[in-house]
Chain A
Amino acid sequence: MATPARNVSARTLVVVLLGLTFLLLGKRHLLHRAKIGPATPFHSSDQYLNAAMGGRDGTERILRALPAGADHRSIAVVYPQSEAVLGFLVLYLSWPRPVLNIRLPTANTPYPFETLRSPEVAAVFFCNMEPPSGFPPGVPLGKNLIMVRQDAGPTNSRP
């Protein structure tokens, strides 16, 4: 018959073995490598955008390209599903301007782009897509992002 002392040591042994298994299987994430900084205002959005667009300071490039604050017209962001990261980030940065969020299943999916040639739309961002015919040539902001700025029409200004 097992003595109480033997029961305690068997229990301790089981707990220690389970604990060691837990530690051994859990330790892999301790090898996580990280580089601290840079301590910039757009630390995280830059990392995503630089990966998506190439180059550096991706956030600043987009912010500089956005129409001036006095222009309250809409921004359109067109992106295929595969470029949702880039599309969402442009939408995120374009606040507080009104935006048109145009997500397409693929870059070749038909869409009535002529509706975006409106004086109400200040600029159209194409994520990993060429601007369709009928649009003026765009300004490349990175390897996957082209912005087409549209002039204000006579009825475009908002209060």
Chain B
Amino acid sequence: MTIAGLLFAFVTLLLAGAGVALLAQRGRARINFLETWALSWFFGSGVVSFLLWSGGAFLSGIGLQTSVTVVAVTLGVFGFALARKSGARVFFPKPHGATEWLLVAVIGLELGLMYYAALGTNLGWDGLLNWEAKARYAFQNHGILPAAYFQDEARVFTHPGYPLWVPFTELWLYLGMGAANQFWLKFLFPGFYAMGVVLLVVLASRLTERRWAGLLVGALIFFVPCLINVSGGAQEGYVDLPLGLLYLGGVGYLLLAGTSGETASWRLSALFLALLPWAKREGAILWLVVVIGGVVLVWRRRRSWQYQLWLLPGAGILLAWKIFLHRMKLTASDDFVPVTLATLQTNLPRAGTIARLLGEELIATSRWSIFWVLVALGFGVLLLRARDRQLLILASAIFAPMAAYAGAYFFSGWGDWVEHIHSSLTRLLLQLMPVAWLVIALAVSPPRDRPAEDVG
């Protein structure tokens, strides 16, 4: 019964996501099955979690669960009907040649290992107390987080102000299973990794016009040690990697929209952007970075201003969540002090330590191998090759949030603010890691003047 319920929850989630993914891809003559599957995962979790939260204002219990199921199935049916009507051809991308088959086999093995690691380890500390706790409390309260939770000073350690993308996706699984179960929940997290790898392969293949380059980075990402060996790793139920994968989608499709001018890529980028502030507070910073890139792109390509309307859903979600927290009279966390010029001046002597610790983190081989060195070399190669808009967007997408995250430590409210850096910096950089793989993919692939492949 538990497993049947879990399957039901995953199927409805994927149906909702498929509906959104197919709607966003309308106009495409060919629809990549694997890409749509990955998009369905991310958009489905976004739709279901958002519906549970917003629907919770009017409904609870079985009424809420039924309504979300009906909307999810309707979205899926509508998306499939539209794709069928448009005559789009769905295809399954098959590898060509021994190299591509080998890379696909390696990726398959890695996904198996990730599931093994996830099912064989605990939910991490934040995975349990920040994220699963919200799902459990809402499950025990008929699908709704009560106002008392947001005002409870004694439970501030569970960060009630964090958004609900992952917790309410977990809640959807709990509602499906009819029980809160920390073990079966763990199927969710390697799912994010697996779908993220598919997304990375698709985006890197299209941007480089070489499928082997996409498959190569899809296989290599597994070897970034902190993906598994730190608190916050992919298997522990933290949100940092899934957030990074949303960011990859937002930036990657924006780059594709910039190079191909394809409207579907623009829509997909905007949908990923909308989910960023719904995933974690840092998502608002990432959202802002990509929005600026999107506005510049619309302006430079002289596209209609109406394209910018697609940037609004993210702003809407951000605003709705802020209003909700205000209405709930959220007890503020003391992790950060208010951002004022006076505080910045007082804490300016921290600059040297922050810069040193950031530098040390970037070259910490136990957590990153030589990943950030490769990214730096990749930027060097791309800089020599062409100083174009793509490079500017990629550089902003990595360095702007990195600077913002480092700058946030000037306002750390921890007594031991150095400990604050030690406990969070790796996870913050993990959010930027997936998108940085695009730099490596572009750097290792031949320049664009060579004939392109059909990468699907």
Contacts and interface: CB of A to CB of B under 8 A. Distances in A.
Nearest to B225: A29
Given A43-B183, A45-B128, A26 B223 contact: yes
Pick the 5 closest A-B CB pairs, nearest first. Answer: A34-B120, A26-B223, A26-B369, A101-B154, A43-B183
B365 A32 contact: no
Interface string A18-37: 11011101111110111111
B336 interface: no
Contacts of B158: 92
Contacts of B347: none
Contact of B229 (A15, A29, A39, A101): A29
Interface of A: 15, 18-19, 21-23, 25-30, 32-45, 47-48, 85, 88, 91-92, 95-96, 98-101
Interface stretch (B60-68, B133-141, B280-288, B289-297): B133-141
B183 A92 contact: no
B84 interface: no
A26 B433 CA distance: 14
Interface in B8-48: none
Contacts of A35: 120
B121 interface: yes
A88 B179 CA distance: 22
B123 A21 contact: no
A22 B70 CA distance: 47
B121 A22 contact: no
Interface in B363-377: 365-366, 369-371, 374, 377
A18 B443 CA distance: 13
A53 to B, nearest CB: 15
Contacts of A23: 220, 223, 369
A38 B136 CA distance: 19
A41 B220 CA distance: 34
B404 interface: no
Given A35-B120, A91-B157, A100-B154, 4 more contacts: A22-B220, A32-B228, A34-B120, A88-B129
Nearest to B148: A96
A137 to B, nearest CB: 26
A95 B182 contact: no
Interface of B: 113, 116-117, 119-123, 125, 127-129, 132-133, 136-137, 140-141, 146, 148, 152-155, 157-158, 179-184, 186, 220, 223-225, 227-229, 365-366, 369-371, 374, 377, 444
Given A18-B374, A41-B180, A88-B129, A36 B137 contact: no
Nearest to A40: B183
B119 A36 contact: yes
26 contacts: A19-B220, A22-B220, A22-B223, A22-B369, A22-B374, A23-B220, A23-B223, A26-B225, A28-B229, A29-B225, A29-B228, A32-B229, A36-B119, A39-B184, A41-B181, A43-B182, A43-B183, A44-B127, A92-B128, A92-B129, A92-B133, A95-B136, A95-B137, A98-B152, A98-B154, A101-B155
B120 A36 contact: yes
A96 B119 contact: no
Contacts of B122: 43-44, 47-48
A96 to B, nearest CB: 7
Nearest to B123: A44
Nearest to A42: B182
B137 A96 contact: yes
Nearest to A34: B120
A15 B148 CA distance: 56
A23 B369 CA distance: 8
Given A26-B224, A26-B225, A21 B182 contact: no
B186 to A, nearest CB: 8
A48 B129 CA distance: 12
Contacts of B181: 39-41, 43
Contact of A96 (B120, B141, B370): B141
A25 B370 contact: yes
A39 B183 contact: yes
Contact of B182 (A28, A30, A41): A41
Contacts of A25: 225, 365, 369-370
A36 B181 CA distance: 15
Given A22-B220, A25-B369, A47-B122, A99 B155 contact: yes
Nearest to B230: A29
A37 B181 CA distance: 12
Nearest to A77: B154
Contacts of B371: 22, 26
B119 A37 contact: yes
Contacts of B228: 29, 32
Nearest to B155: A91
Contact of A18 (B120, B133, B370): B370
A49 B155 CA distance: 19
Contacts of A85: 125
